[in-house]
Amino acid sequence: MTRKKTLKDFTGDDLLHELAARFADQQYRAGMTMSQMELIVWETNGMENPAALRALNALLARMPLEAPTGKRCPKCNKRVAVKAKDRTRSLRTMAGALTLTRNYHYCEACQLGFYPLDRALELPEEGELTAEMEKRVLDFALNEVYGECAARWRLHYRTSASDNLFRRVVARVGAHCEGADQQVLQEELKPALPTTPDALVVEVDGSMLPIRGLEPVAVVNGLGEFAPVLEDALRVERAEEVHTVLWLGDGAVCNWRLAEQLLPDAIQILDWYHALQHAVDCGKVLLGEESPWLPLWQERSKQLLAAGEPSAVIDELMACLSLLPRRRTNRDTLEALDGLVRYYRANAHRMRYALYRESGFPIASGAAESAHRHVLQVRMKRAGQHWSMRNARKVAALRAALRTAGPLDVYDDIQRARARSKPRGHYWRRGHYRYAREGTRERRRCLAGSSD
């Protein structure tokens, strides 16, 4: 009669393998994904080490062997035969590097190739990383310059990762982010509100980024591309049902045009600081940059604007003109004054600041201003950084997604949005190039000087 072996019967490597096998016996559940296996192994064995790798391999070995029979096409659901057996895929998992061997199927009708095992494990379609690894690499890459990522990765995980790994993951997941249906993406990133809120504040502003070969800055996504994305975001926020919608912005004409198109009932508010800055800039031209009267000018403008009387500001400015020393009433001063008067007249209905304050409305687009910093600048406007247009788009989209969904959810949200988006085959690539071309056009328009 054979006795069941106990751990005492094993030594050296055999003992380690036996321990891993027992771990797998305990932990394996049918239908586990690679992420589920990796996380269990990570909790007990840590990151990228031999013990972890043994445990993960033992879990994978518990999966039923892949039979070389026909498998259902993910698109048309018809069974398709194996096209090629035992194709290998090298993967870097949270436990370490391993190689999977699996069968390749090809559906002629759908022109779609697929690996049933990869799908069962929910592996990313491309690349050398598992989803759990990609998630972590992406988090580093979106928060730190690539060179620093490698050093910080070593500190956290004691293994190496090249600058290029971070770049590749940003390119890959960035393409998923851009390729997804943008409304679906917004829905995934921001869970639907349980009830319709009483008020919604929309703040629109452009942000500048340093782009390679274009000095000093350029538009990455023009309004033409931004409008549909914003429209989707407003739908997710239930803007149509909200009682009070406020639209805050600087004086850029296209901004208000957008407001009228997307939310014609919104109350438009000119950002307080932009309104005041225009008065101060005009004061500088009228009085001179170094004038001791400048603070007084600023204080008076502030008072008049706060009282909600842009016309009173205009009247005072006109009166000022007569008081100016003759040498200062040159063409520049007249132009500055004329510019300010026109700006205030065009925006007068958006400058009822006293009324807004009474109603408890925000009058400054502080959220948008701080978003420049915490969404884009902290990662994309470091000293010496210059982005290619293509990478700038991806990183900007990913940073926005990250700040919307948070680091725990952003990766999965993007993947879910991608899975829910209507399959476009390889179209996204074509779309990608089209975006790139539009980007160039937007860029020229921007450089031609149509920013605010």
73 binds Zn ion (CB under 5 A): yes
Q: Which of the stretches 11-19, 76-84, 85-93, 400-408 binds Zn ion when contact is defined by CB under 5 A?
A: 76-84
Residue list 195-254, contact with Zn ion (CB under 5 A): none
Our CB check for Zn ion shows the closer of 111 and 322 to be 111
What backbone torsions phi and psi does residue 69 show, to the nearest 5 degrees? -95, 170
What would you report as the CA-atom Rg of the chain, rounded to the nearest whole angstrom? Answer: 30
Smallest CA-to-CA distance from 124 within 63, 168, 86, 60 is with: 168
Q: Are the C-beta atoms of residues 150 and 161 closer than 8 Å to each other?
A: yes
440: amino acid identity, one letter: T
Instruction: Give the nearest distance from C-beta 423 to Zn ion in angstroms.
Output: 11
Q: Are the C-beta atoms of residues 117 and 31 closer than 8 Å to each other?
A: no
Our CB check for Zn ion shows the closer of 108 and 338 to be 108
Instruction: Give the nearest distance from C-beta 109 to Zn ion in angstroms.
Output: 5
- CB count within 10 Å of CB 146 equals 15
Q: Which of the stretches 58-66, 67-75, 204-212, 261-269 binds Zn ion when contact is defined by CB under 5 A?
A: 67-75
Instruction: Give the nearest distance from C-beta 112 to Zn ion in angstroms.
Output: 6
Our CB check for Zn ion shows the closer of 10 and 106 to be 106
Instruction: Give the nearest distance from C-beta 69 to Zn ion in angstroms.
Output: 16
Our CB check for Zn ion shows the closer of 76 and 334 to be 76
Our CB check for Zn ion shows the closer of 75 and 190 to be 75
Instruction: Give the nearest distance from C-beta 74 to Zn ion in angstroms.
Output: 8
Our CB check for Zn ion shows the closer of 22 and 119 to be 119
The contact pattern for Zn ion, residues 16-55, with x = CB under 5 A and - = no contact, is ----------------------------------------
83 binds Zn ion (CB under 5 A): no
Q: Which of the stretches 8-16, 69-77, 190-198, 345-353 binds Zn ion when contact is defined by CB under 5 A?
A: 69-77
Return d(Cα 191, Cα 212) in angstroms, integer.
36
Instruction: Give the nearest distance from C-beta 108 to Zn ion in angstroms.
Output: 8
Our CB check for Zn ion shows the closer of 104 and 273 to be 104
159: amino acid identity, one letter: T
Structure-token pair, residue 26: 């305990």
Instruction: Give the nearest distance from C-beta 422 to Zn ion in angstroms.
Output: 16
Instruction: Give the nearest distance from C-beta 125 to Zn ion in angstroms.
Output: 16
Smallest CA-to-CA distance from 108 within 146, 147, 80, 142 is with: 80
Inter-axis angle of helices 272-287 and 310-323, nearest 10: 10
Structure-token pair, residue 61: 């070995």
User: Do the bridges between strand 209-211 and strand 199-204 make them parallel or antiparallel, or are there none, so unpaired?
Assistant: unpaired
The contact pattern for Zn ion, residues 100-119, with x = CB under 5 A and - = no contact, is -------x-xx---------
Our CB check for Zn ion shows the closer of 106 and 428 to be 106
Return d(Cα 267, Cα 261) in angstroms, integer.
13
With contacts defined by CB under 5 A, how many residues of the chain interact with Zn ion? 6
Our CB check for Zn ion shows the closer of 75 and 381 to be 75
Q: Are the C-beta atoms of residues 193 and 414 closer than 8 Å to each other?
A: no
What backbone torsions phi and psi does residue 177 show, to the nearest 5 degrees? -65, -45
75 binds Zn ion (CB under 5 A): yes
CB-count burial class (<10 Å; 0-12, 13-18, 19+) for 129: buried
Cis peptide bond upstream of 216, omega within 30: yes
Return d(Cα 260, Cα 268) in angstroms, integer.
9
Query: What does the binding site for Zn ion look like in residue numbers (CB under 5 A)?
Result: 73, 75-76, 107, 109-110
